[in-house]
Structures are given as structure tokens and as C-alpha cells.
């Protein structure tokens, strides 16, 4: 078991090296000379060249990459020229608030979609089932921006119940968390529902009922666990969806997280920062998936690592 986990972790490292190369190349290949950006328009060719040397962009790509990786391994992600601060400092100061938002959004959507999906699956064909499927369809097709703006319009502008932007209190977190978790709750509702429908037809559920276990307990203890398994598998991949979603959502709600930092970095052509964010996000994504895979082997005894 441990051996398998280690092997899987090694594979993760390979993926991350690939990601670092891609992140590095994407940023280098983008048009525009970062050195010029750092300097006023009036800068002479000489000062620009001096800047290039200082930034290391005059060297061959391969050497640049190696230098970069050497620094990364030392924990140095480089300096953001725009903010004039170290990238890692910038990223790690923003990371907790994104994590808080995504975590709360995920929790919110699970609290909502698991009961809804279960009831819909148990009462297949009923009104609540139709309603849940309607919600799932809308949820999967609605854009973050539109939903965010609508919520702001209703709850911040008209009803004045919730603040439309910023951070600090719990109230600030509600709307962005709903938006970030919305697509996932639609997906999860659908998965729990179909899982429940499938599981309830299984022989082992009839067998459990034949042991005298009440319907309620069968639903909430036994079928629940079977139906929930597929949802766990998508939680990992949802981390990626949430990170990309956070770019838009944090901008809409002025939430000071990684998402809005990314948007800013792109506006500012802050190459070093973009590259570091890419690397860190990818690491988070891959590690989350690894954790989910490990977790999955504990809840589903049939799956062993491979």
C-alpha cells in the first residue's frame, strides 16, 4: 500500500516537472519583452539590454529554465517586478483567502447537493426530483459572472442583505462561496441522484432490508455510502475547476485571493508572477488529486492503488 502511494507520488512529481516546463515556456513565448515593460518608454537600448541581463532573459531558454528550477527548489519563486516583492510571499499571502472561499464553497455545495440528490434519487420521478434535475441543468450551464452579478444585484443592491465586495466578515464570504460552489453542486446533485437510483436496485440493498434494517437507515447509512463514492472521485478534479473559477469570481467580488492576483498579474504582464502562480496552482491541483485518490482507497475497499 505504502509502496503504491510512493509510486503514485513519484508520478505526480513527473507531472509537476512537465507543468513547470509548460508554465515556463508559455510565459516566455508570449509576445512582448518583459524587460521593456519594466522601463519607461524613453529607455535607451542600452538600459533595456542591461535590464535583460539583470532579469536573465538574454540567456538561452534552457539555461533560464535550469536557473529557474534551481531557485524554485530552494524555495525562491523569483520576484514580481510589478509589486517588487517575492512571488512566493505574494502568493502565500493570498492563498489562505482563496482556500477559505473554495473550501466553504465546496462544503456549502455538498451540504446542499447530497441531501437533494439523495431525496431526488429515492423519490425518482417526483416533483422534487424534477426540480433537482432542473437545478442541475441550470447549474451546469450558468456562467460564474452572470450568477455573481445577479446575486449582487438581488442581495447587495436591492435587498441590501449582503456586502457586494471585499472581505472580513462571514457575510462577505456567502455570495462568492455560492458562486464558486454552484457548478459543483449541480454536478454532485446529479451524481448522487443517479448513484442512489442505481444502488437502490442492488441485491445487497434488498438483502439489507431483509435483515430488518429500516428504510431510513438503509438510505442514510448503507445506500448513502455506496452512492457517495463517485462524488469523492470528482472532488479532486473540482479543485481545478474552482481555481479557474476563482479568477472570475474573485474579480467580480473583489476577493483578495489567488484568482484576483492572477488577473492582476496578467494585466500587468507580470511574467514571473504568472509563471509562479501557474506552478503553485498546478501543484495544488495535482496534490489534491493525489490526496483524493489515497482517500478513495480507504473508503472503497475494492479499489487498490494502481
Distance in angstroms (rounded) separating the CA atoms of residues 177 and 64 = 39
**Stretch in the footprint of another protein (CB under 8 A) among 2-10, 14-22, 47-55, 294-302:** 294-302
> 252, 134, 143: which is closest to 193 by C-alpha?
134
If the CB atoms of residues 84 and 201 are measured against another protein, the closer one turns out to be 201
* 39, 103, 194, 222: residue in contact with another protein (rule CB under 8 A): 222
The per-residue DSSP string of 141-170 comes to H--HHHHHHHHIIIIIIIS--S-SS--SSH
Q: How far apart are CB 193 and another protein at their closest, in Å? A: 16
Q: Are 178 and 108 in contact (CB under 8 A)?
A: yes
Backbone angles phi, psi at 175, to 5 degrees: -65, -50
**Stretch in the footprint of another protein (CB under 8 A) among 20-28, 38-46, 166-174, 207-215:** 207-215
Query: Is residue 209 part of the contact set for another protein (CB under 8 A)?
Result: yes
Distance in angstroms (rounded) separating the CA atoms of residues 226 and 224 = 5
Q: How far apart are CB 118 and another protein at their closest, in Å? A: 16
Distance in angstroms (rounded) separating the CA atoms of residues 77 and 87 = 6
Q: How far apart are CB 230 and another protein at their closest, in Å? A: 12
Query: Is residue 213 part of the contact set for another protein (CB under 8 A)?
Result: yes
- H/E stretch holding 87 reads helix 87-122
* 84, 170, 302, 306: residue in contact with another protein (rule CB under 8 A): 302
CA 306 to chain centroid, in Å, comes to 24
> 294, 289, 297, 295: which is closest to 19 by C-alpha?
289
Query: Is residue 7 part of the contact set for another protein (CB under 8 A)?
Result: no
Q: Are 151 and 143 in contact (CB under 8 A)?
A: no
If the CB atoms of residues 89 and 214 are measured against another protein, the closer one turns out to be 214
Q: How far apart are CB 295 and another protein at their closest, in Å? A: 14
Q: How far apart are CB 203 and another protein at their closest, in Å? A: 4
**Stretch in the footprint of another protein (CB under 8 A) among 94-102, 205-213, 234-242, 254-262:** 205-213
* 2, 210, 267, 306: residue in contact with another protein (rule CB under 8 A): 210
Query: Is residue 306 part of the contact set for another protein (CB under 8 A)?
Result: no
**Stretch in the footprint of another protein (CB under 8 A) among 48-56, 60-68, 168-176, 206-214:** 206-214
Q: How far apart are CB 213 and another protein at their closest, in Å? A: 6
CA 77 to chain centroid, in Å, comes to 21
If the CB atoms of residues 160 and 211 are measured against another protein, the closer one turns out to be 211
Query: Is residue 89 part of the contact set for another protein (CB under 8 A)?
Result: no
Query: Is residue 134 part of the contact set for another protein (CB under 8 A)?
Result: no
Query: Is residue 301 part of the contact set for another protein (CB under 8 A)?
Result: yes
Q: For the chain, how far is it from start to end, CA to CA, in angstroms? A: 10
> 257, 264, 265: which is closest to 99 by C-alpha?
257
- The runs of H, that is alpha helices, within 155-270 are 170-200, 203-210, 215-217, 224-252, 258-267
Residues lying near another protein in the complex (CB under 8 A) are found at 201-215, 222, 225-226, 229, 299-302
Amino acid at each position: 500500500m505504502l509502496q503504491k502511494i510512493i509510486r503514485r507520488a513519484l508520478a505526480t512529481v513527473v507531472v509537476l516537472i512537465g507543468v513547470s516546463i509548460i508554465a515556463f515556456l508559455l510565459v516566455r513565448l508570449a509576445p512582448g519583452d518583459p524587460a521593456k515593460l519594466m522601463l519607461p518608454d524613453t529607455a535607451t537600448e542600452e538600459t533595456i539590454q542591461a535590464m535583460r541581463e539583470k532579469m536573465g532573459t538574454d540567456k538561452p531558454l534552457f539555461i533560464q529554465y535550469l536557473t529557474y528550477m534551481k531557485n524554485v527548489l530552494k524555495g525562491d519563486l523569483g520576484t514580481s517586478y510589478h509589486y517588487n516583492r517575492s512571488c512566493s510571499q505574494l502568493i502565500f499571502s493570498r492563498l489562505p483567502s482563496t482556500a477559505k472561499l473554495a473550501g466553504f464553497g465546496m462544503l456549502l455545495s455538498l451540504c446542499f447537493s447530497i441531501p437533494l440528490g439523495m431525496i431526488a434519487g429515492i423519490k425518482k420521478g417526483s416533483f422534487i426530483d424534477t426540480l433537482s434535475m432542473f437545478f442541475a441543468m441550470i447549474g451546469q450551464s450558468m456562467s460564474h459572472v452572470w450568477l455573481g452579478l445577479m446575486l449582487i444585484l438581488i442581495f447587495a443592491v436591492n435587498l441590501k442583505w449582503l456586502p457586494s465586495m471585499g472581505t472580513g466578515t462571514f457575510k462577505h464570504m456567502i455570495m462568492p462561496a455560492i458562486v464558486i460552489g454552484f457548478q459543483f453542486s449541480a454536478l454532485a446533485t446529479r451524481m448522487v441522484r443517479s448513484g442512489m437510483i442505481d444502488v437502490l436496485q442492488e441485491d445487497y440493498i434488498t438483502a439489507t432490508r431483509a435483515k430488518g434494517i429500516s428504510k431510513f437507515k438503509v438510505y442514510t447509512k448503507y445506500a448513502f455510502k455506496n452512492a457517495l463514492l463517485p462524488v469523492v472521485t470528482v472532488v479532486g478534479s473540482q479543485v481545478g475547476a474552482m481555481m479557474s473559477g476563482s479568477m472570475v469570481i474573485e474579480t467580480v467580488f473583489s476577493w483578495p485571493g489567488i484568482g484576483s492576483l492572477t488577473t492582476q498579474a496578467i494585466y500587468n504582464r507580470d511574467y514571473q508572477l504568472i509563471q509562479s502562480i501557474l506552478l503553485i496552482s498546478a501543484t495544488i491541483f495535482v496534490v489534491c488529486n493525489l490526496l483524493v485518490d489515497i482517500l478513495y482507497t480507504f473508503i472503497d475497499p475494492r479499489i487498490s492503488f494502481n
